[in-house]
């Protein structure tokens, strides 16, 4: 599970998404839930097998790959 403080260190590195597929971490977005005041983070993942595809998921759902 990736934490917010690990994003900069892992940008453009290979990670594993919840679907078990390996992607390149290309960005992260912070969002604010206006009703609760809580922040949540999304990860932008570049599909290594399909160059023009990306996947968006919860930052906490991805795992850092050991290369």
Region 33-50 average pLDDT: 94
pLDDT of residue 18: 84
Integer Cα distance of 38 and 18 in angstroms: 23
The H-assigned helical ranges of 1-67 are: 7-10
- C-alpha R_g of the chain: 12
pLDDT tens for each residue of 11-40? 999 999 888 899 999 999 999 999 999 999
The pTM of the full predicted model, rounded to 2 decimals, is: 0.84
For residues 25 and 15, is the Cβ–Cβ distance under 8 A?
A: yes
What is the spatial distance between Cα 6 and Cα 47, in angstroms, rounded to a whole number?
A: 20
Residue 67 predicted with pLDDT over 70: no
**Mean per-residue pLDDT for 31-58?**
93
Distance CA(41)–CA(25), nearest Å, equals 13
């Amino acid at each position: 599970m990736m934490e917010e403080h690990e994003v900069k260190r892992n940008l453009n590195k290979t990670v594993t998404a919840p679907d078990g597929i390996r992607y390149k971490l290309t960005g992260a977005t912070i969002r604010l839930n206006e009703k609760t005041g809580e922040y949540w983070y999304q990860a932008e993942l570049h599909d290594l097998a399909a160059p023009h595809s990306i996947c968006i998921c919860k930052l906490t759902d991805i795992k850092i790959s050991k290369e």
